[in-house]
Structure 1
Amino acid sequence: MPAVNRSGVVVGSAIALVFLANSGLASADDDFGNGSQKPSKPPVSGNSDGKGNLSATAGAVVFDRSKNGSGQSAGPVTSSASNWTPPACYYAPKYSPEQLQKHLEPIWQAESTGYEWDAKQRKTFEGGEPYKDFNKDKAGKGYFWDSYVTEGREGDPGALDCTKDIFWVDQGAPPPPEIPQAITPEMLAQLAYAEIRVPSTTVELAPEGTTKVNLPTWAWLDAAKFKPVSVTASVPLLNVQATTTAEPVSLKIEPGTADATTYPASGVCALNGDQIGEAYAKGKADETPPCGVKYLRSSGDGSYQLQATITWKIHWTGTGVNEERGLPDGEFGADQDVVVQEIQSINR
């Protein structure tokens, strides 16, 4: 189901909308290494001290939301793919060899996690199975990666999906392919998807005011009034980034009752040049609107709940990615109460 804003109005009033995107999920490989991420030594920019030691948030994802939608009516996009959601957790650099030692040894000394777990950890990070002495011989040549929870998703069940133990990645090398939540440009694009906020706009309706039974109501949007929005996600320590962009492509009208006809029959009005639908003009009363609705029965003492949903096309580009790649479609809609009177015709 699309995300929805609600407001009770009569047909002809503006419908406040927030929108979302449409596209297929890319399956291409990530270009993470191969020259796209090969600094000769750990970068020093508040994330590293030049000796391979990291700040507490060095591996965390940073978001640039300066081109995102804003305002009280802006809202998050919702994927139209029922089996896909942006990740609630991910893996990225967190420790140098020295930092991991300082992190784990007090835990082992406290003996609060049990002998068996402590012994296994010591073998893993001290005993050479697979890391010897916390990989200190590779200090400054890579980092230990660990899990992060995406900001704002702490209560999401998906935040518990990143259960793999801490692992090492050489500087400039891609993370292990068997870890799907490891940071890559595509993973960054998916994280940026979750941060997209799409602005509200209005659907113009004619006639204004209360609509009538059997009277076609024209609906249209001026696409020039709303622009694509985008969010860039990056991990500065790794010099990788991805920008996810959402562009409006269509409007779907659902009348709120089976006793109605939509134009076109599918109820989906595609973007045509710089607008969706066609603005009503005097003299078109006898024409069929390219985008709109006709109610066949009065709403009586109540109203129908019309829902208008915008579909946005979402795509991304990023480090090592020269062409746009798709992400799942998404939708965001608004609904309103529509009063329909039992009058066969009116003058416009």
Structure 2
Amino acid sequence: MPAVKRQLWWGLAVGTVVASVLLPIEAHAARPGDKDEGAVEAEGGAQGDEVYSRVRFNLKRNAAGPSSGPLNVSASTDWSPPPCWYEPAYTPEELKQKHEEARNQPHTSGLGEAIQQFEHRYINGNPYKDYNLAKAGEGMWWDRAALPYEEGGDIFACMDPIFWVDNGEPPEHENAVTPEVLAGLAYSKIRVPDSEVQLSPAAANQKVNLATWAWLDSSSFKPVSVTASLEELGIEATTTATPVSLKLEPGTKDATIHPPSGECTLREEGTIGTPYTRGAEDQDPPCGMTYLRASTVSGPYEMRATITWEVEWTGTGGAGGDLPDGTFGTTQDITVQEVQAINR
């Protein structure tokens, strides 16, 4: 998965958001934080590292089977992972170099005013003088960064100009990277397995008025965690999603759900639902459903199984807390036949 390249947006650096004066300067490919050539790309259920800008994500995908998709944040909250963040990006020498590179490129014609405004702010003492070269080693220039758009990132949600932060001083910016911001970014990177619900009778062999027992294979029903860290600041956060319940939606109103709420919660032994055992024909399953009408006319019912994952985080300095629950759902086609009694 490609990293987000560091860009210096001169128009934003001087506080203007007019697209015509945005002049992107890509950082050197070998610059630390832009792309870690030694990072391991995580595929399926494997562990590995992914690096975006200066933030490193360590993927601890503990669940068996391939990772299927991201968690959907609970609809009951307006929280969402940070679309962008600010992080230490340039030394005074690097800022000077990139400015000089930009000024000498042919496509700068017509952008003289924007460059002049940049120089006014970062060279001429309004408020910064000579790229802060006199403070080399005492701090860093902070710039914006974001995950890819398809992972919830939005670089244009951070529109403030580049700013200076002294070493050891907390940046006074709401989107400045902190353990809590890293925890939210780690939430964006969590991928959970596509856990197929086990059914008895099988999905293609359901019977009218015969209770269907449903359960999840415990081997794939385990916590998933991601650690996000920023080495330059010595901070990190680990966000962990733990499966806690399964909701069944039979795909038709002509069905009875067990339990009536459709929410099958985690049992003490760490499983959800119970496999069918011979002799339990007259019992209601702790997790399952009973179809009341055959699917011969409508075609297979589309049963939806949604797992709720409880999310929490821990971070540098003892920080931590809860994050909104996430959900991930899959569907299965269910064929129901008009038969009153069978042998399982």
**Which category of TM-score, normalised to the shorter sequence, fits these structures?**
0.7 to 0.9
Name the residue aligned to 2:342. 346
Name the residue aligned to 1:246. 241
For the residue of structure 2 that corresponds to 1:272, the secondary structure is coil
- The one-letter code matched in structure 2 to 1:143 is M
Report deviation, 1:56.
5.7
- The one-letter code matched in structure 1 to 2:300 is S
Question: What is the rounded CA distance, in whole Å, between the counterparts of 2:226 and 2:153 in structure 1?
Answer: 24
Q: Does 1:292 align with 2:269?
A: no
For the residue of structure 1 that corresponds to 2:159, the secondary structure is coil
Name the residue aligned to 1:307. 304
- The one-letter code matched in structure 2 to 1:237 is E
Which one is further off, 182-191 or 194-203?
194-203
Q: Does 1:233 align with 2:210?
A: no
Q: 1:123 aligns with which of 120, 125, 131?
A: 120
When residues 321 and 113 of structure 1 are mapped into structure 2, their CA distance, relative to the original with a 3 A threshold, is farther
Q: Does 1:201 align with 2:219?
A: no
Name the residue aligned to 1:114. 111
Q: 2:84 aligns with which of 68, 78, 89?
A: 89
Q: 1:192 aligns with which of 186, 191, 194?
A: 186
Name the residue aligned to 1:168. 164
For the residue of structure 2 that corresponds to 1:277, the secondary structure is coil
Report deviation, 1:185.
0.7
2:265·2:272 contact (CA, 8 Å) conserved in 1? yes
Question: What is the rounded CA distance, in whole Å, between the counterparts of 1:231 and 1:159 in structure 2?
Answer: 22
When residues 127 and 68 of structure 1 are mapped into structure 2, their CA distance, relative to the original with a 3 A threshold, is farther
TM-score by length of 1: 0.76
Aligned residues: 291
- The one-letter code matched in structure 2 to 1:254 is E
What are structure 1's unaligned runs of at least 5 residues?
A: 1-53
Which one is further off, 67-76 or 293-302?
67-76
Report deviation, 1:124.
1.2
Name the residue aligned to 1:268. 263
> Higher relative CO (CA 8 A, sep ≥ 6), structure 1 or 2?
1
Deviations 1:200-259 (A, max 9, x none): 434222223511112211112243553211111111111111111111100010111111
Report deviation, 1:337.
0.9
Question: What is the rounded CA distance, in whole Å, between the counterparts of 1:344 and 1:272 in structure 2?
Answer: 31
The within-5 A match list for 1:33-112 is 55=32, 57=34, 60-67=54-61, 69=63, 71-72=65-66, 74-81=68-75, 83-108=78-103, 111-112=108-109
When residues 92 and 251 of structure 1 are mapped into structure 2, their CA distance, relative to the original with a 3 A threshold, is same
TM-score by length of 2: 0.77
Question: What is the rounded CA distance, in whole Å, between the counterparts of 2:151 and 2:100 in structure 1?
Answer: 29
Report deviation, 1:68.
5.1
Question: What is the rounded CA distance, in whole Å, between the counterparts of 2:212 and 2:61 in structure 1?
Answer: 34
Question: What is the rounded CA distance, in whole Å, between the counterparts of 2:110 and 2:151 in structure 1?
Answer: 24
When residues 102 and 312 of structure 1 are mapped into structure 2, their CA distance, relative to the original with a 3 A threshold, is same
When residues 155 and 344 of structure 1 are mapped into structure 2, their CA distance, relative to the original with a 3 A threshold, is closer
Question: What is the rounded CA distance, in whole Å, between the counterparts of 1:93 and 1:225 in structure 2?
Answer: 39
Deviations 1:21-42 (A, max 9, x none): xxxxxxxxxxxxxxxxxxxxxx
Deviations 1:107-162 (A, max 9, x none): 34665353432232222112222212212222111100111231x43796723212
What are structure 2's unaligned runs of at least 5 residues?
A: 1-30, 36-52
1:259·1:296 contact (CA, 8 Å) conserved in 2? yes
Q: Identity of aligned pairs, percent?
A: 49
Which one is further off, 136-145 or 120-129?
120-129
- The one-letter code matched in structure 1 to 2:189 is E
Question: What is the rounded CA distance, in whole Å, between the counterparts of 2:140 and 2:317 in structure 1?
Answer: 21
Question: What is the rounded CA distance, in whole Å, between the counterparts of 1:262 and 1:184 in structure 2?
Answer: 45
Report deviation, 1:310.
0.9
